[in-house]
């Protein structure tokens, strides 16, 4: 009987290990897809200056470093939204309709780390490199922005072209 149990348990354990491994891969890709969807939804809301949807992208405790805003960190979802509204609130009156901006992430990379994820990308410009790092946290079944870091490096055109090819 012992011999039968030992010989039967081994294949069962191997099957369970493979099943858990496959399940883990599925969960990872599902999380990555969910983060990608949250990131692209945020970008679309920003392009449209859809303030309710933009605001809903952020965790209440989110923080922001924005090169075009104050030099200091902006803390809290309400302060972040107010900061962007101050800087872009007049744009809709100057243009016929959404989208008002043309933010198009390039070289998007998503790194899921359990209940957190890091999304990085850059934006194409002729004379500068604009980089974005967005940290998402999972809150229930949603991914919300916990931190947004934007940076801009002014460079000559030849330098921008050479850096675009670097990964």
Q: How far apart are CA 127 and CA 160, in angstroms?
A: 7
Q: How far apart are CA 63 and CA 84, in angstroms?
A: 13
List of domains in the chain: 2-164 (3.10.450.50)
In three-state secondary structure terms, 129 is: strand
**Residue range 80-103: average pLDDT?**
91
Q: Which residue has the tokens 């460079």?
A: 155
Instruction: Please give the pLDDT value at position 46.
Output: 97
Q: What is the pLDDT of residues 152-163, one digit of tens each?
A: 988 765 555 555
Averaging pLDDT over each range in 1-5, 63-67, 69-73, 133-137, which range is the top one?
133-137
pTM of the predicted structure, to 2 decimals: 0.75
Q: What is the pLDDT of residues 7-63, one digit of tens each?
A: 444 443 333 333 333 333 344 469 999 999 999 999 999 999 999 999 999 999 999
What are 17's two structure tokens?
A: 């290990």
Q: How far apart are CA 148 and CA 58, in angstroms?
A: 9
What are 153's two structure tokens?
A: 């490096």
Q: Which residue has the higher pLDDT, 5 or 43?
A: 43
């Amino acid at each position: 009987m012992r011999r039968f149990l030992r010989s039967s348990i081994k294949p069962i354990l191997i099957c369970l290990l493979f099943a858990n491994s496959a399940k883990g891969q599925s969960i990872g890709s599902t999380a990555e897809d969910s983060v990608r969807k949250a990131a692209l939804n945020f970008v679309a809301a920003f392009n449209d200056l859809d303030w309710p949807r933009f605001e809903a992208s952020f965790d209440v405790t989110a923080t922001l470093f924005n090169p075009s805003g104050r030099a200091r960190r902006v803390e809290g979802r309400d302060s972040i939204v107010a900061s962007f509204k101050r800087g872009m609130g007049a744009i809709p009156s100057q243009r016929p309709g959404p989208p008002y901006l043309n933010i198009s992430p390039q070289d998007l990379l998503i790194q899921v780390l359990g209940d957190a994820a890091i999304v990085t990308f850059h934006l194409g410009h002729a004379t500068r490199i604009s980089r974005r790092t967005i940290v998402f946290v999972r809150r229930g079944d949603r991914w919300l922005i916990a931190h947004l870091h934007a940076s801009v490096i002014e460079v000559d055109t030849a330098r921008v072209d050479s850096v675009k090819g670097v990964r």
